[in-house]
Amino acid sequence: MQIEKNKVVSLTYTLTLQNGDIADTATIETPFVFIHGIGATLPHFDSNLANLKAGDTFSFDLSAENAYGVSNTDFKVNVPREVFNGPDVSADVLQIGNMVPMQDNYGNPMNGIILSFDDNDVLIDFNHPLADQSLNFKGNILSVREASEEELAHKHVHGLGDHHH
């Protein structure tokens, strides 16, 4: 069975950055499993896997523009330091380079990286951590199967014999 829209794909991969650093891996023990073509992955990731089948290997590069994009200066935001006061905030959260979970004005979760801080403000970068990075994916297709109606309705793969949310 070939990879196409609405097929469940299980694969292994190594994601390498342009400088040679390994950014992520999916192994046989913990494969990456997703429904192809429904927007759950990067569009160019999906298109590079189209028509492959179980047992096939792959290797492809994605430019920053076709991966997580180019940094946007508008996504570097000063947040009042007082946001980081309170009993639910760890005392050591304010460190340059820390990733902090935040919410936008609508309550949507988003992560940011602390770039700097002073007595009044904390400068946080909300660009994706892999923005500006060219990516190389190498891996193997483990399996391809039809997605169930329930998986398609929920827009994610369910675990073996169970429904995981």
Cβ–Cβ under 8 Å, residues 76 and 124: yes
Q: How far apart are CA 136 and CA 133, in angstroms?
A: 10
Whether the model pTM is above 0.95: no
Please determine, for residue 160, whether its predicted confidence score (pLDDT) is greater than 70.
no
Question: What confidence category does residue 165 fall into, taking pLDDT thresholds of 50, 70 and 90?
Answer: very low
Q: Where are the domains of the chain?
A: 7-68+131-154, 73-125
Q: How far apart are CA 93 and CA 74, in angstroms?
A: 23
Decide which of 2.40.37.10, 3.30.70.1450, 3.10.50.40, 3.30.70.270 is the CATH code for 7-68+131-154.
3.10.50.40
Residue 145 in tokens: 């199967």
Give the domain 73-125 fold.
Answer: Thrombin, subunit H (2.40.10)
DSSP letter (8 states) at residue 84: G
**pLDDT tens figures, 49-77:** 999 999 999 999 999 999 999 999 999 99
Please determine, for residue 36, whether its predicted confidence score (pLDDT) is greater than 80.
yes
